[in-house]
Structure 1
């Protein structure tokens, strides 16, 4: 998803596209992988005096709920990134820098037979490790 699509999604759902929301979207659009709320707060404090943690977290929650941002948990902390392409895929996530790489395999093909009678509503499969750039650093 790009910034224009995200803004259109907000408008379609009746939300205003404020300067703060556009800056949040720009932060994630420029990031190459997952970033924390703390990263976003540091970025936003440089651009908006007196911005509150509540404003940051409220918008993060809204963007996740609307499918604009994806979230994952890494080392006990939530991380966010702009939602990827609309095709089904999973991610390799670097534990050092947060960069992601799409992985086009899905283990769910094998799971259905292991859970007879269950209705699977959703799933998440992520691979964690160190990317080549961080490995050489």
Structure 2
């Protein structure tokens, strides 16, 4: 899927400040996951003056609203990309960072089962599976 196939993140009822719109437009311009620092650098190359703290806050707000995907790398760094919309999980290559969105019906059933077993309700979850993609293995 390319950036033209995937709608860019909206600002989800947030006040559409110049900075928030700049971050949302930047997110719509790439398909891979990027760190807040990389997004900040991209904005700077475009001539946008948006502080790094504002980029972090905006990314968190967009992630909380479900407008963008937030993934934690194995090293603990948060990285972001425009969300495809449907609930999904990610396969992530440890070498090149390539990601593949996957649906996981078995994970969804397991999550509901464990929650019910322990009396939990309104549960949510995220799942990232790390490995090495075929290109990097070759």
Q: TM-score scaled by structure 1?
A: 0.75
Report the Cα distance in structure 1 between the residues aligned to 2:22 and 2:127, rounded to whole angstroms. 30
Give the aligned partner of residue 117 of structure 1: 118
Determine if contact 2:37/2:52 at 8 Å carries over to the other structure.
no
Report the Cα distance in structure 2 between the residues aligned to 1:23 and 1:48, rounded to whole angstroms. 10
Give the aligned partner of residue 129 of structure 2: 127
Give the aligned partner of residue 42 of structure 2: 43
Q: Give CA deviations for 1:62-87 in whole Å, capped at 9, x if unaligned.
A: 2112221121110111111111232x
Report the Cα distance in structure 1 between the residues aligned to 2:92 and 2:108, rounded to whole angstroms. 19
Shift in alpha-carbon separation, 1:27–1:97, aligned structure 2, 3 A:
farther
Q: How many residues align?
A: 129
The aligned runs of 1:32-71 (5 Å cut-off) are 32-48=31-47, 50-71=49-70
Shift in alpha-carbon separation, 1:130–1:30, aligned structure 2, 3 A:
farther
- Greater share of helix: 1
Structure 1 portions without partners, runs of 5+: none
- Is 1:2 the counterpart of 2:7? The answer is yes
Shift in alpha-carbon separation, 1:112–1:131, aligned structure 2, 3 A:
same
Report the Cα distance in structure 1 between the residues aligned to 2:14 and 2:125, rounded to whole angstroms. 29
Secondary structure of the residue aligned to 1:107 is helix
Secondary structure of the residue aligned to 1:33 is coil
Report the Cα distance in structure 2 between the residues aligned to 1:71 and 1:132, rounded to whole angstroms. 24
Shift in alpha-carbon separation, 1:23–1:99, aligned structure 2, 3 A:
farther
Determine if contact 1:36/1:80 at 8 Å carries over to the other structure.
yes
Q: Give CA deviations for 1:28-55 in whole Å, capped at 9, x if unaligned.
A: 2332332111211221121236532122
Give the aligned partner of residue 3 of structure 2: none
| Further displaced range: 92-101 or 104-113 | 104-113
